[in-house]
Amino acid sequence: MTDGRSRRREDTRQRLFVAAVELIAEQGFSATTVDDIAARAGVAKGTVYYNFESKTVLFEELLRHGIGLLTADFRAAVDGLPPREALAALVRAELEYIRRYRAFAQLLLSEMWRTNREWQQTLRLLRGEAIEVIAETVRSGVASGDLPADLDVRTASSALFGVGLVVAVDWLVFQPDRPIEDVQEALLGIVRRVAQT
Amino acid sequence: MTDGRSRRREDTRQRLFVAAVELIAEQGFSATTVDDIAARAGVAKGTVYYNFESKTVLFEELLRHGIGLLTADFRAAVDGLPPREALAALVRAELEYIRRYRAFAQLLLSEMWRTNREWQQTLRLLRGEAIEVIAETVRSGVASGDLPADLDVRTASSALFGVGLVVAVDWLVFQPDRPIEDVQEALLGIVRRVAQT
DNA sequence: GTTTTTATACTGACCGGTCAGTTTAGAAGT
DNA sequence: ACTTCTAAACTGACCGGTCAGTATAAAAAC
């Protein structure tokens, strides 16, 4: 498992993920060629197909990997916290994640609301898993009276998820000079006000 | 200029716009073929090239047309209103626009934050024009004391623009059964709270 | 501990299909 | 008459995917 071979392979896969994520974030899935990905990762084209069944499967595994990390961060963030604090922790976790994996966040924002693509089903499912963590928090907050009773859990959860994405990526793309703390503070302020009972 | 011939031509261009917008919203620019667009518009492929210089130019003109309409709606919405009311009117106008041109909104959301594409410059410019209308409102609101003094005009304006997009499109894609009035009300509630001095 | 074998990881030229864009001769609309 | 559109064939670049062959590290055989 940790012998030289599988470590080498895992390393190659990781490099391919990184290359693919950057290129797809910039250009989109269709505009990114397998040759591009291979070149940026510093491997031959055949290596891509040795490690992944197809371009689509590479992308799907990439999505699974990336959103899996986000979901894990979400779970860790809310662990044991009361609803109001958990909500703030979620916002912080999301922005922290976006800061660390900016290209992946950009990619998500661009591909999240597409329809009629092969990998759409996969993405929809993964999105659901991440949002479910938010929804659990909102639900328990509404139940305990910590959050407004008239809050629609589903809408609020997906709105929270999407708003964090769009505000953060907009900041990354259009005003990267601004410190992220400002964005985080602004977003927290918004969420705090909206969460007022 | 308004003779039968140019009207006919304008009609064809319109049909091509509609076809292109729907397909690109679903699949993205690169995954959409010119043959697809021609077929959906019910014209011959040659007609596409009779009316537009290239696929890219078609898309750029599409962006100009679509965002031009949005900017005009924005201007009409804020006309003569005091800042706070103008802000609410902007939200209403944006959602109204998205409801009418849902495919274009979806397309915008997917292509807005891309980098390294030929038409990126065009889109950036057009985005700026639309957001400038919002910014003017926010700026005068801050100046007159109707809006919080610590509000960063640039961030607030682009956030407002992006949030409307993402919340509305998310609703369109993931919970289309929900009436838009709910979404509008929720968004207005958020903006109202955030705009509180 | 040196040689031989095997499994795994990678290479890059190549193939078949796809797609943007062109061309052409003519039909239809105004 | 003039503009707009059609239909269909064609070109050439590009791209996803394949495959015969190479490299390398670990294991087996000696």
Whole-angstrom Cα distance, residue A118 to residue A115? 9
- Count CA within 13 A, CB hemisphere, residue A123: 20
Residue of chain B whose Cα is closest to the Cα of A159: B167
**Helices of type H across chain A:** 4-27, 34-41, 45-51, 55-78, 83-100, 102-111, 120-144, 153-174, 180-195
Please give the share of chain A, as a percent, with pLDDT higher than 90: 77
Residue A39 confidence class, pLDDT cut points 50, 70, 90: very high
CB contact A147 to B (< 8 Å): no
Q: Do B190 and A194 touch (CB under 8 A)?
A: yes
CB contact B114 to A (< 8 Å): yes
Interval B111-120: pLDDT, tens: 999 999 999 9
Assess whether pLDDT exceeds 70 at residue A4.
Answer: no
CB neighbourhood size of A101 (10 A): 17
Residue B191 confidence class, pLDDT cut points 50, 70, 90: confident
Contacts with A109 from chain B: Cβ below 8 Å: 109, 113
- Across the interface, of A29, A113, A158, the residue whose CB is closest to B109 is A113
In which element (H, E) is residue B26 found?
Answer: helix B4-27
Residue A117 confidence class, pLDDT cut points 50, 70, 90: very high
- Among A99, A115, A114, smallest CA distance to A169 is for A99
Could you tell me which residues come within 8 angstroms of residue B156 by beta carbon, excluding any fewer than 6 positions away? A186, B138
Predicted local confidence at residue B4, as pLDDT: 66
Predicted local confidence at residue B139, as pLDDT: 96
How far is the alpha carbon of A6 from chain B, nearest alpha carbon, in Å? 35
Q: In this structure, is the CB of residue B54 within 7 Å of any atom belonging to strand C?
A: yes
Q: Do B186 and A111 touch (CB under 8 A)?
A: no
Q: In this structure, is the CB of residue A163 within 7 Å of any atom belonging to strand C?
A: no
Whole-angstrom Cα distance, residue B93 to residue B89? 6
| Least confident segment among A42-51, A164-173, B83-92, B180-189 | B180-189
Assess whether pLDDT exceeds 80 at residue A113.
Answer: yes
Q: What value does the CA radius of gyration of chain A take, rounded to a whole number of Å?
A: 19
Whole-angstrom Cα distance, residue B97 to residue A46? 47
Assess whether pLDDT exceeds 60 at residue A2.
Answer: no
Which of A45-59, A142-156, A179-193, B1-15 has the highest average model confidence (pLDDT)? A45-59
CB contact B150 to A (< 8 Å): no
Q: In this structure, is the CB of residue B11 within 7 Å of any atom belonging to strand C?
A: no
The chain-wide mean pLDDT, for chain A, equals 93
Sign of CA dihedral A63, A68, A71, A76: negative
Q: What CATH class does B55-195 carry?
A: mainly alpha
Task: Write the DSSP string, B72-83.
Answer: HHHHHHHTT--H
Amino acid occupying residue A116: N
What average pLDDT does the segment B80-102 reach? 95
In which element (H, E) is residue B69 found?
Answer: helix B55-78
CB contact B98 to A (< 8 Å): no
CA nearest to nucleotide C7 C1': residue: A5
Q: At what angle do helices B83-100 and B55-78 cross, to 10 degrees?
A: 140
Q: Which two tokens stand for residue A196?
A: 């007022």
Amino acid occupying residue B183: V
Predicted local confidence at residue A7, as pLDDT: 81
Q: Kindly tell me the burial class for residue B185, based on how many C-beta atoms sit within 10 Å of its own C-beta (0-12, 13-18, 19 or more).
A: exposed
CB contact B120 to A (< 8 Å): no
Whole-angstrom Cα distance, residue A13 to residue B152? 42
Q: In this structure, is the CB of residue A6 within 7 Å of any atom belonging to strand C?
A: yes
Tell me how many residue pairs between chain A and chain B have CB atoms under 8 A apart: 118
Q: In this structure, is the CB of residue A41 within 7 Å of any atom belonging to strand C?
A: no
Q: Do A31 and B26 touch (CB under 8 A)?
A: no
Whole-angstrom Cα distance, residue A133 to residue A119? 22
Whole-angstrom Cα distance, residue B70 to residue A153? 30
Q: Kindly tell me the burial class for residue B178, based on how many C-beta atoms sit within 10 Å of its own C-beta (0-12, 13-18, 19 or more).
A: middle
Residue A1 confidence class, pLDDT cut points 50, 70, 90: very low
- Among B156, B170, B106, smallest CA distance to A152 is for B170
Whole-angstrom Cα distance, residue A89 to residue B177? 31
What average pLDDT does the segment A75-88 reach? 96
Contact B116, A27 (CB under 8 A): yes
Residue matched to tokens 């509609």: B18
Q: Strand C: list positions under 7 Å from protein Cβ.
A: 8-14, 18-25, 29-30
Amino acid occupying residue B151: L
Domain ranges for chain B, please list them: 1-52, 55-195
Q: Which CATH superfamily is domain A1-52 in?
A: Homeodomain-like (1.10.10.60)
